[in-house]
Structure 1
């Protein structure tokens, strides 16, 4: 089971990287599918392995692989959107924890909403610090919310609904979480 878990972690790290390249440039960020794959990882792999998959993704990008929307490398810490990348890790953990067995949309959607809240709770303050302190933009709270959250919410809701529909259908075919819950490693 541990081998399958590690393979699935690598798969979701790769899918999140692919999601970064499916992008629409927008303000200080881009609309991507990174959160979509993070939410799927949390539901399908559970809290531990979902978060691990996102940790692998972020670590590889910060190590220099060009798998973020604008490349990669240690210098990415100075990008306003780096906080959102870091937020993918606890977001996947929260989603995996709250989704339970992930077999119903009624569990998956609220879990993904909570994960999205965590993502914004990490990403927005980081964005504000980089934009205001490092870049000297002088943006107030409403400007930061407009740059990093408000315009993205409709797309985030669509991603969450799609995850809510797909995850319960994919989970029985994956046969990972149920076996993992019975036999934790």
Structure 2
């Protein structure tokens, strides 16, 4: 009897560790992908101090492929790594990026990914029509969360830090917005395709 009592807690603990590992590796993976997307390079846009990177694309994929809690954890981990001084932001920046012109965009990644995850709905790729509707829903979610939410944060903070009117900040950022709409289309199609492959 003693053996069965001690075996049950050990089995329960092992099961808990397995579940925690299964849930936590995805946020860590996406946090690492965010760093890699920033480290891969940046493209400057004249008239704005914020460069183009693939970070918003990874944010969109995180929202489309993770639960909202996992997506939020991935972005929180990424921001915390930069706040701790690790060079995870564009151009190898760390803590100072969180008080610079890109700060609003970086902080906007967190609610943006959560909104995407909450809006995307359940994937259904059982037929061509269902797959098309899933892709359209994914696109809507990425436009709202990955573009509208992220840019709302970005424009407000950049305007506050630079003293430029929000309209001027928005106009200077149109190149980013158009690029991120293209990224949203690619992310929605890729996530829907990966969902179909994993069935």
| Range into which the TM-score falls when normalised by the shorter chain | 0.7 to 0.9
Q: Distance in 1 between matches of 2:180 and 2:91?
A: 20
Kept after mapping to 1: 8 A contact 2:64/2:138: yes
Kept after mapping to 1: 8 A contact 2:98/2:106: no
Kept after mapping to 1: 8 A contact 2:105/2:151: yes
Does residue 89 (structure 1) correspond to residue 110 (structure 2)? The answer is yes
Does residue 112 (structure 1) correspond to residue 142 (structure 2)? The answer is yes
How much is the aligned-residue C-alpha RMSD, in angstroms?
Answer: 1.7
Q: Structure 1, residues 28-84: CA drift from partner, whole Å, max 9, x if none?
A: 111111110011011100211111101111110111111101333333232111110
Q: Distance in 1 between matches of 2:27 and 2:95?
A: 22
The aligned length equals 168
Kept after mapping to 2: 8 A contact 1:62/1:72: no
Tell me the TM-score normalized by structure 2.
Answer: 0.78
Tell me the TM-score normalized by structure 1.
Answer: 0.84
- Structure 1: gaps (5+ residues): 133-138, 176-185
Q: Distance in 1 between matches of 2:158 and 2:42?
A: 19
The alignment partner of 2:51 has SS state of: strand
- Structure 2: gaps (5+ residues): 1-18, 125-133
Does residue 164 (structure 1) correspond to residue 188 (structure 2)? The answer is yes
User: Which of 12, 26, 34 is equivalent to 1:16?
Assistant: 34
**In the alignment, what sits opposite 1:32?**
53
